[in-house]
Copies of this chain bind each other. A is one copy, B any other.
Amino acid sequence: MTHKYQSISLEIEQKIMNGHYNNTGNKLPTEEDLVNEYGVSRNTIRKAIDTLVKKGFIMPVQGSGMFIRDVSMKNSNAINLENFRGLTADYQYSKIETKLLEFQEVKATKKIAEIMQCNVGDDLYFINRLRIIDGKKWVVEYSYYNKQYIPFLNKEIINNSIYNYIQQALKKQIGYVDRIIEAGPLNEKDAKLLGLEVGDPALISTNKSMFKSGEIFDYSIDVHNYKYTKFLKLSNLL
């Protein structure tokens, strides 16, 4: 299940992060060198590189080489939208606390059923959590999980990473995440939870998560503390 291009991509990414290429003019070895180093075809190297380009780590310039992109923005502790795999993965070097505010089974309303492409009345888990990172009240999350795909959840799983549970215990591959990002005024409840004032700005992300095979298993609304959360989008238009 782990392919050549995946492990090569990961290894190069780690080398970039380690500063392994800092003394080579912030350039990666040429494709030919990588072909020899890893003993694979040029296509495979290019596929490995592709994912790093997508993530915004490198900038290939035809005729010149593959340059490691400036990490100043990456270091601004913004969440890279290309990398996003849940708070637990994104802030793996920080202390994450979770306050479980609500956890219950509910039936899909017409509106939710439409969004999650399930039937009205289907069983869902509803979860409301406050996430605290390094002592800072970071985000209030409202999530619905389709019980048809996530048949069991408990407080322990919820207090850790639901995404890890899905991937490791359920052995399901998360394929797609659709996310709408907007700003809006905080309501009383969220303001109180985040330690802010009513009407203060919030960075709101509304998300739909799908398995590789397309089924929507999660719909969630994340109300972020505007003082902490930033999203980073590294686009390449080529």
| Chain A contact residues, CB within 8 Å of chain B | 54, 56, 59, 61, 64, 67, 69-70, 73, 76, 78, 81-82, 84-85, 117, 173-185, 199-204, 208, 210, 212-214, 224, 226, 229-238
Contacts and interface: CB of A to CB of B under 8 A. Distances in A.
Which 4 pairs across A and B sit closest by C-beta, in order of nearness? Answer: A201-B201, A183-B203, A183-B226, A183-B183
A214 B67 contact: yes
Q: How many copies of this chain are found per oligomer?
A: 2
Given A183-B203, A200-B185, A202-B183, A176 B236 contact: yes
Nearest to A56: B178
Contact of A214 (B59, B214, B226): B59
B233 A233 contact: yes
A215 to B, nearest CB: 11
A181 to B, nearest CB: 4
A210 B185 CA distance: 33
Given A61-B213, A214-B67, A238-B212, A233 B181 contact: yes
Contacts of A183: 183, 201-204, 224, 226
A46 to B, nearest CB: 11
Contacts of A208: 73
A73 B115 CA distance: 10
A180 B237 contact: no
